[in-house]
Structure formats: structure tokens, C-alpha cells
Amino acid sequence: MTLPDDLEQELNAYLASKDAPPNLTTLTQAALRDYLQTKRLSERAYRPAQKPFGVRSLVEKDKDGEPDVSLQHDAYLADR
């Protein structure tokens, strides 16, 4: 397989950064699977997220002015 120089440099840098680099066949198969899966999804008008969904922490008060435990129950129980 022949790669353009810029792609070969990036590939070599990627492989050098791994403790146990995969062989080229395994890497190519994984990339092809990912490409084909993305193509199938895009044909269905599915677009993967461009960035992670950011969930902001809400500080809500209940009727007594206490923090609403239903929103942050894990944090509430961890403080006990």
C-alpha cells in the first residue's frame, strides 16, 4: 500500500506514540470499518456529535430552601 508522505508521517508518529503499536493490517481494517459505519449512518442522516455534550451542574432549591437532592443525589449522598 502506498501512502502520501504527509499521511505516512502522521501514521509513523501515531505508531511511535503507542506502547504496543498495532500492525498496519489491523489498523487499516479498523479505519475501514469505522469509515463504512460512519458512511452507513450518514446515509440515514445521522451525524455524530462534534463535541461532547456538556451537562451543567444545577443548584436548585426545594420548597424549604435546601438543595434539591433529586438533581444531585450522588453528590449529596457522598457528602454524608
Task: Give how many domains the chain has, as a whole number.
Answer: 1
Domain extent, residue 39, equals 5-43
Is residue 16 a part of any domain in this protein? yes
Is residue 68 a part of any domain in this protein? no
Is residue 56 a part of any domain in this protein? no
13-59 pLDDT, tens digit each: 999 999 999 998 999 999 999 999 989 988 888 777 777 766 655 56
Is residue 65 a part of any domain in this protein? no
pLDDT score for 10: 94
Is residue 26 a part of any domain in this protein? yes
Is residue 49 a part of any domain in this protein? no
* Three-class secondary structure of residue 61 per DSSP: strand
Which residues, in sequence order, are bridge partners of residue 67?
Answer: 61
pLDDT at residue 73 greater than cutoff 90: no
4-14 pLDDT, tens digit each: 999 999 999 99
Is residue 13 a part of any domain in this protein? yes
Is residue 76 a part of any domain in this protein? no
Band (pLDDT 50/70/90 cuts) for residue 72 is low
How far CA 52 is from CA of 24, 40, 41, 48, in Å, comes to 30, 22, 19, 10
**AA identity, residue 41:** L
How far CA 23 is from CA of 18, 28, 30, in Å, comes to 11, 9, 11
